Structure 1
């Protein structure tokens, strides 16, 4: 299923990385671990640069690490397509793990399935390795905060 290309991003890739870094500076302490590779109409691509700290016994990238990548993908979609409000929050996130992922770049290809006034539904295909096979797939929902122009905090 293609992305909802009627949804145009309001931030560039660089702006998305800058916003992510300002909102969550702890995310990339010690190097650029999570980053936005691309923002496009109806979607984005995020990357985890997995290293030893992301491994579980057996040399596999841990489930919580891949879950974090999926959540970051949804967050980036919300920031870039529904408004750059850092108070967007995860309502639901379901993930299926299909293959082992090892050290190296792991990419998440995200797309908007539905974007309404208060909720955004998305999915993300997480791929890794030289062959680019899916290692996990997630679907999620983000809550989009109402505009605070008319509703100050």
Structure 2
């Protein structure tokens, strides 16, 4: 699936997260993986004006699902079987970028790695240069139905 197909699928299947007035966007699908963004607003913050752990976990999980769908097509019953995240820095409200890549894609299981970054102010938020420090790092395993 390309970025447009993937985004359209997620709008149809996850209208609570994707759509014109929703906070998530698919911004990239290429050989390196998938890029998603979360426009973190007040509802995504915890005390201290930082993006909450559950919001970051949700973005990482959605990004893992998206990278799998980009590789195998729309398989709605692919589900998370394992999820591990390390929170490394406190991102501010605003844009968070998730870069997801497949580490292994088998017939029944897929293992994904997801890095979350907050782009530098004034830079192109959709062109993560790698200079931004990770806010969180996640590794997920998904079960793929037969």
Query: Aligning the two structures, in what range does the TM-score lie when normalised by the shorter sequence?
Result: 0.7 to 0.9
Matched length: 136
* Runs of 4+, deviation exceeding 3 Å: none
Structure 2 distance, partners of 1:89, 1:63, is 20
Structure 1 distance, partners of 2:133, 2:32, is 22
Q: Deviations over 1:101-137 (max 9, x none)?
A: 1111110111110000011101011001416221000
- Whether the 8 Å CA contact 2:86–2:137 is kept in 1: the answer is yes
Instruction: Kindly indicate whether residue 91 of structure 2 is the aligned counterpart of residue 101 of structure 1.
Output: yes
- Whether the 8 Å CA contact 1:97–1:137 is kept in 2: the answer is yes
Shift in Å, 1:28: 3.7
Structure 2 distance, partners of 1:30, 1:57, is 28
Instruction: Kindly indicate whether residue 8 of structure 2 is the aligned counterpart of residue 18 of structure 1.
Output: yes
Residue of structure 2 aligned with 1:80, choices 70, 75, 80: 70
Structure 2 distance, partners of 1:110, 1:28, is 17
Structure 2 distance, partners of 1:137, 1:13, is 23
Which moves more between the two structures, 92-101 or 76-85? 76-85
Give me the TM-score of the superposition, normalised by structure 2: 0.88
> Rg larger in 1 or in 2?
1
Shift in Å, 1:84: 1.1
Pairwise CA RMSD:
1.4
Residue 43 of structure 1: aligned partner: 33
- Whether the 8 Å CA contact 1:128–1:135 is kept in 2: the answer is yes
Distance 1:27 1:84, change over 3 A: same
Distance 1:115 1:66, change over 3 A: same
Q: Which residues of structure 1 form unaligned runs of 5+?
A: 1-10, 147-153
Secondary structure (helix, strand or coil) at the match of 1:20 reads: helix
Shift in Å, 1:144: 1.0
Give me the TM-score of the superposition, normalised by structure 1: 0.84
Instruction: Kindly indicate whether residue 103 of structure 2 is the aligned counterpart of residue 110 of structure 1.
Output: no
Secondary structure (helix, strand or coil) at the match of 1:25 reads: coil
